[in-house]
Structure 1
Amino acid sequence: MRKALALIILMFSLMLISILILFASLHTRYATPVVNFIFKYASSQTIRADLIEYQSPYHFTFHGLELSTSPEPLYIETAQLWLNQGLVSQGKLAIDSLLLSGFQLQQGMPEITPSPYVSIAQVAVDHLDYSDDALIIRDLSFQIKQPEYQPSSSWPVRGEIQLSAEQLYWNNEAFDNVLVDADVLEDGAKIYGLSFKWRQADIKTQAEWLNNQWHLINASIKGLQLSHSQWMEVNSNQIFEQLSTPVFIERLDVLSTTITSDVFSLTAADITLDNIQYPVKVWQQDGRVSLNAENITLGNQTLLEPTLSLQLTENKIAIDDLNVGFKRGYIQLQGSLDPNAISLNNLTVSGVEWLIENEADQRNSFESDLTGLNLKSLIPELNNYHHPEFVAIKRLRIKRSQFINLASEPKRQVSGLNISGDDLLLVKDSQLGLWSGNLTLSANSASIGELIASQSLIEAHAEDGISYLDKLVVPLQHGLMRAQGKMDFTQLSQPWQLKFQSDGFPLQTLGYWRTIPLGMKGLAEVEFDLNGLAGDEAMLNYSLSGFANVSLRDASIEPAFEQIMNPKPDQPVLTSPITVGDFSLKMKRGDIELTSTKIQGKDFTGQLKGSLDLVANDIGKLTLSLASRCGQLRVDLLTKQQEINNAECKTGAVQTEKVIIPFE
């Protein structure tokens, strides 16, 4: 027993002496070969150091450390290691800290298999340059407390991470001065701070990985400046398309931002998002959006100093406030949207002056500019808003506004426009009309070509789907227009009635919508009382009934009748006065009967007569006939053809030539 005890004491003494000799050798020139010898048998990879320094009791410094990693050997200028005071913990060599300085990874992460016999409490890296096929990092420094490496996991590197980099280059975009403070755990991650510069903008955020998506907490983007060419670069780099993981934005402030693209621009914009899901799903949100900017441009339309506040809830967008300067005026709006309806509490338009001077202005309409913005592809739920099922406005006010269109004929304008509406229901079941409410419209002046009016007034109201035109009074240059009517939107057939009276109505203005035979001009006195069904075109054709009485004064044709019969080149256009008898139209269920009307000119006579069946368009004829001793002219108003029988008048001998000319 004594011998066994003596043997144990001897063996322990030898081990202790060996350890003491080993530690003693670390203070001599044998430190480097001793440690390299240990590396040779303690690691599956070849590890070698050019020089090893030891500072008692637990600090090692390795100079020129080389590891045989794949795809390329790893050379580290300096590595420092601090052992734990207990040396061993849970059967593993315990390292308190490992610091690596001055090395490069030019072909991505090397294949390193952590030793199962070593545990490291903290690892740090200084001045690392890294690159692979997708990512380049310059001057990367980081430290990880309690590091774990699981290459097959969705979070391959775990621990408490602090990181900085001079520049990170990804997807052709540079991110400068990157700082990260985060905890990466087995089931997620928390980012206590992330900041970097991108495109001159300062970007900061906190974030957390929850429920398989990132949650951004108190994120901010300040000073983003993107010119048109830079915006095109960002789009071509598709960095947002690369971010396929859903993101929930708890709070994002975009401050002092200017962006210019080919279809829109933001200038000095501040935007705040609260509780917004990305990719955006409008009707599945519970958050807020606010915006203000110096201006926003959509195509050729500029919105000045816009402010917007939205509240998003399930199946509803509440517009708390929208104010925007537009066309020398301003627009103010409050209301709400849901997937099938627009409900506005207030819509105020004041002092807007909309001028369309040429075809370019007409092509660049507000609707086309919104189409170019392509919001519907970004937010597919907006597609339903092309034809909403329900549109209501509780309070509508349009004040001192103006619209002028000089780009096409007839030129038209309305100035001093004022519209007042209360409790308006304008669309129901996708059917446009005045379903309920009160509406008043007035204008200081309005014109369509030669139809010029001043101090126009329209009053209407609707109850329970029945709309009433209470008053239409339009003073003309040479007369007055009046009208009253009603329409029932509650019935599928939509029965309607319209009573109209006009004195001094310019006949030539009808040519803006339908060709007038022989360029007739003059003033018309018109009275009609019509009724029918407006459910669809067939109903209208089958049901149109009523009467119309027409009386013309100061009538003429241009060119003159003799010029029509015997045109001569380079001859100035003449006007022929004519007298047209009063005529009437009688309509019953789509059958229209025109009473025969005499026409008398200086040297010709004629008549207008015919009938028309709206149901059977091939039945009926409306004919205008004129005749003189020099020939005859017949115009079919339905087929738009005119037939001329010319005659030579000089000798009294008549020579007839029949010519059929399409009537345009």
Structure 2
Amino acid sequence: MRFIRKSLYTLLCLLVLAVIIIYFVAQTSYAAKWISQWVNDNSPYQLSLGNLDYSITEPSQLILHNVELSQQKQPTLLKAEKVTLGLTSSLWQPKLHFSTLELENGNLSLSAKTAISLAVSSDRFQLRNMAVNLETPDITLQGERVNGGIIPWVLSANPLPDSDNHFEFSADKLLLNGIETHKALIQGDVDNQQIIFNNVGADLANGLLTGSGKRNAEGHWIVDNLRLSDVKYQSQQTLNQLFDQIEQLTGHTDITLNRLDLLNANIQGTDWAFSDLSLSVKDLMLVKGNWQAQSGTINMNAYDVVYGNQHLVSPVLNLGLEDNNVKIKQFSSRWQDGLVRASGIWQRDSQTLTLDDVALTSLLYTLPKDWLTELKQTPPNWLRELHITKFTTNRSILIDINPEFPFQFTALDSNGSDLYLIKDHQFGIWGGQLSFNASEATLNKIDLRHPSVILTATPEAITVSEMSAFTKEGLIEGKVTLGQQPERTLNLALSGRSVPVNILQSWGWQSIPLQGNGNINLQLSGNLVDRQTSDSKLKGSLKMVNDTGQMLTQYPLSQVEIPVEHDISVPEVPNSEEETPATTPEVPQESPFG
């Protein structure tokens, strides 16, 4: 019996010694290299370990140092200074399960293209001071100094969590689909393949972002509440480029915005800026980049808005989104030292904008240098037709500083009804009635008082039924009919009493040798554009008699090339009293009758 006891004691000591040797050997770099080599030879993964750390005082915990894991011929999936494994009784089952899995001081990269097929899970997955890179078909995320965890956690082919769990993460810097944020916090749950974001917060563009929402199993994002305040953003992009970028970010998925608020934002780019902007969007859905709404609203106001050479002060815009229509409930702004107000509706199916009421008050507006060229440009695709039911202008000043034909209207008032200003993507006056008058006007250095015009437009012609103005001592009146067809048929009758007989010379007519006041009578008819030669062909006469009794009649030549923009600028011909050769004088670039 003594021999048996001695043998058992000896065997026990040998076992303890073996355990001690294994314990210490297992924590050497040699054991770590052996484990790494075994994984590399017997699995599709590449593993590199610095050493292992195991303490008898914490028998359920195994620590791996300087860990690097990747699939063969693939980028590194995990690189961490320290990996802590919480051991459980089910560790050696076909599906590895840990009580805890902690990654510390490293880099974790997850992608749908490089998803690993290891069957690994843990009751708690923890990140400490990690850099995280995540890539899915609709999400690209890079995080720096990420801390947080998931309870519980299961590794799957999907980089995003798809099993029921709770997660909380914070990051010093987070780049989501190219949008950079700082001090980000995300808290939420995964429930039945839905990712629910209970609380999201971050510093964005020197402002604060807070929100909540979810992503359903089909990949549809539902934003319950998203709030951006005190944002200050500066870009080198144009406004159209910025909108294109937003469309690219949102065009690959469906988004429902229950509420979006942008408060006190200052945003600036190339040739545009918004100062103290507040924007509220409710009940709007984006489906592959196209908006849909049943009863959505968009409300916007700002201190300043600059777009190109346009400057709006204190603009207010309230929109209602219903089916395929955008209802302009209110638009008002200070503009050009005056006030602009409008309301109406835009129909997406017909790309038609109908403004019920447009009012311009006390404007001081100088036309752009190339305003005629801009009117010839094609409107944007979303604007096929423009209708204005009611149009008014009060106490405004309109100026054109073009040196070839400058003009100015002072104390300008106008009234219009049922105006059609764009038809099939072409600017013009295609229908409606318009009248305007001013207290004073200057047309190419000719002063007029109380000019007044009344016109009616149809798809066939524009008819000026009344056109009148006072000169210093007389009155000038006229009527015009201009066809809307490509040949632009013109009929003009203009008469003046006690007016300078050479007044038309300043407005595009050829040189007139008579001086002084008198009576004039101009009759013109023909086509401004010949469809075969693209030349103007006008017939008629200008008859003049001054206050000394001198008379002169001038005729336009029937065959003379006149640029289309110089509609009635015609050369002088011999009159009935004198035999003088016809000449072709230089004329101003623009004519008020053209």
Provide TM-score, normalisation by structure 2: 0.71
In structure 1, the partner of 2:4 is none
Structure 1 residues 252, 616: CA separation in 2 closer, same or farther (over 3 Å shift)?
A: closer
Query: What is residue 553 of structure 1 aligned with on the other side?
Result: 546
Quick one: structure 1 residues 288 and 170, their matched pair in 2 at CA, closer, same or farther if it must change by over 3 Å?
A: closer
* Contact 2:302 2:314 (8 Å CA) reproduced: yes
Deviation per CA, 1:315-343: give whole Å up to 9, x if none: 43321111010011010000122344331
1:219 aligns to 2:226 (yes or no):
yes
User: Which residue does 2:203 correspond to in 1?
Assistant: 197
1:267: Cα distance to partner? 0.2
Q: Look up the match of 2:86.
A: 81
User: Among residues 292, 307, 317, which one is paired with 2:316 in the alignment?
Assistant: 307
Query: Does the Cα contact within 8 Å between 1:147 and 1:157 map onto a contact in 2?
Result: no
Match of 1:180 in 2: 186
Q: What residue identity is the alignment partner of 1:442?
A: N
List runs of 5+ in structure 1 lacking aligned partners.
1-17, 556-578, 586-593, 595-610, 627-631, 642-664
* Distance change >3 Å, CA 213–CA 444, structure 1 → 2: same
Listed one character per residue, the Cα deviations across residues 265-310 of structure 1 (whole Å, up to 9, x for unaligned) are 1001012233152775479997432211001012232100001122
Structure 2 residue 358 is matched with structure 1 residue 347: yes
Q: State the partner residue of 1:97.
A: 99
Give the equivalent residue in structure 2 for 1:51.
Answer: 53
Encode CA deviations 1:622-650: one digit per residue, 9 max, x unaligned: 64599xxxxx9964335879xxxxxxxxx
Structure 2 Cα separation of the partners of residues 176 and 551 of structure 1: 80
The answer on 1:433 being equivalent to 2:429 is yes
1:409–1:512 contact (8 Å) kept in structure 2: no
Q: Does 1:445 align with 2:440?
A: yes
Rounded to whole Å, the distance in 2 between the matches of 1:518 and 1:487 is 26
Residues 1:137 and 2:143 aligned together = yes
Q: Deviations over 1:349-369 (max 9, x none)?
A: 00001146xxxx636x79979
Checking the alignment, whether the CA contact within 8 Å between 1:398 and 1:419 is kept in structure 2 is yes
Does the 8 A contact of 2:365 with 2:397 survive in 1?
A: yes
Cα distance in 2 between the residues matched to 1:621 and 1:95: 99
The equivalent position to 2:557 in structure 1, one of 612, 615, 619, is 612
Aligned length: 536
Aligned partner of 1:263: which letter? D
Once the two structures are superposed, the pairs formed by residues 389-428 of structure 1 within 5 Å of their partners are: 390-426=385-421
Where do 1:98-497 residues align within 5 Å? 98-100=100-102, 102-105=104-107, 116=119, 119-130=121-132, 137-151=143-157, 153=158, 155=160, 160=165, 161-169=167-175, 174-183=180-189, 189-205=195-211, 206-209=213-216, 211-227=218-234, 245-250=252-257, 251-274=259-282, 275-277=284-286, 280-281=289-290, 287-338=296-347, 339-355=350-366, 362=369, 382-383=380-381, 385=383, 388=384, 390-426=385-421, 432-433=428-429, 435-437=431-433, 439-460=434-455, 469-484=464-479
Q: Which ranges of structure 2 fall in alignment gaps of 5 or more residues?
A: 1-11, 563-569, 588-594
Q: RMSD in angstroms over aligned alpha carbons?
A: 5.3
1:637 matches 2:569 = no
**Aligned twin of 1:62:** 62
Rg comparison, structure with higher value: 1
Distance 1:639 1:366 in 2: 24
Q: Aligned to 1:382, what secondary structure does the other structure show?
A: coil
How far apart, in 1, do the equivalents of 2:571 and 2:50 lie?
Answer: 108
Q: By how many angstroms is 1:254 displaced?
A: 1.6
Amino acid at match of 1:636: A
Alignment of 1:474-623 (within 5 A): 474-484=469-479, 498-506=492-500, 508-512=502-506, 514=508, 516-517=510-511, 522-523=516-517, 525-528=519-522, 548=541, 550-553=543-546, 580-583=550-553, 594=555, 612-614=557-559, 623=573
**Structure 1 residues 130 and 120: CA distance shift in structure 2, 3 A:** closer
Cα pair 1:399 1:419 within 8 Å, conserved: yes
Secondary structure of the residue aligned to 2:380 is: helix
Distance change in 2, residues 1:315/1:638 (3 Å): farther
Amino acid at match of 1:177: K
1-side partners of 2:373 and 2:584: how far apart?
36
Q: Does structure 1 retain, via aligned residues, the 8 Å contact 2:473–2:498? A: yes
Aligned pair in 2 of structure 1 residues 155, 412: CA closer, same or farther (>3 Å)?
same
User: In the aligned structure 2, how far is the partner of 1:132 from the partner of 1:208?
Assistant: 16
How many Å separate the matches in 1 of 2:585 and 2:410? Answer: 39
CA distance in 2, matches of 1:440, 1:128: 71
From the two aligned structures, give the one with the greater helix fraction: 1
Q: Could you tell me which residue of structure 1 aligns to residue 565 of structure 2?
A: none
Question: TM-score scaled to structure 1, two decimals?
Answer: 0.65
Does the 8 Å contact 1:176/1:197 carry over to 2? yes
User: For residues 494 and 512 of structure 2, what CA distance do their matches in structure 1 show?
Assistant: 26
CA contact (8 A) 1:426 1:436 kept: no
Is the Cα–Cα contact under 8 Å of residues 285 and 291 in structure 2 kept in the other structure? no
Q: In the TM superposition, what is the alpha-carbon distance from 1:77 to its structure 2 partner?
A: 3.5
